Amino acid sequence: MRTEGERPQLYSSSLVRSNTIIDARRRLMTGLSVSILDAGRNSMSFFMLLVVSLGLSVMRESLGKTMLKCQALAAAHFLFGST
């Protein structure tokens, strides 16, 4: 029985701990996904700037082997930008 003025216990300590772990995992997953999306956006912007500055579809119809180098550079930019 409760005495007057005593508050009921709403959460057990194990429930609070499990919610904290779930919240920590959720924050970690959100942080990782935001980091990956941000790196993808930056890499795509860098790739488009590089391709346009080389004159694709403005001065040339294709960049040939240079396009492969641009794609490799954008992939490296993504990998190092996401860490």
pLDDT tens digit sequence for 4-50: 666 655 555 555 556 677 788 888 999 999 999 999 999 999 999 98
Check: pTM over 0.75? Answer yes or no: no
* CB-CB contact of 44 with 70 (8 Å): no
CA distance 55 to 24: 47
Looking at per-residue pLDDT, the higher value among 3 and 30 belongs to 30
**What residues contact 4, with CB distance under 8 A and at least 6 apart?**
none
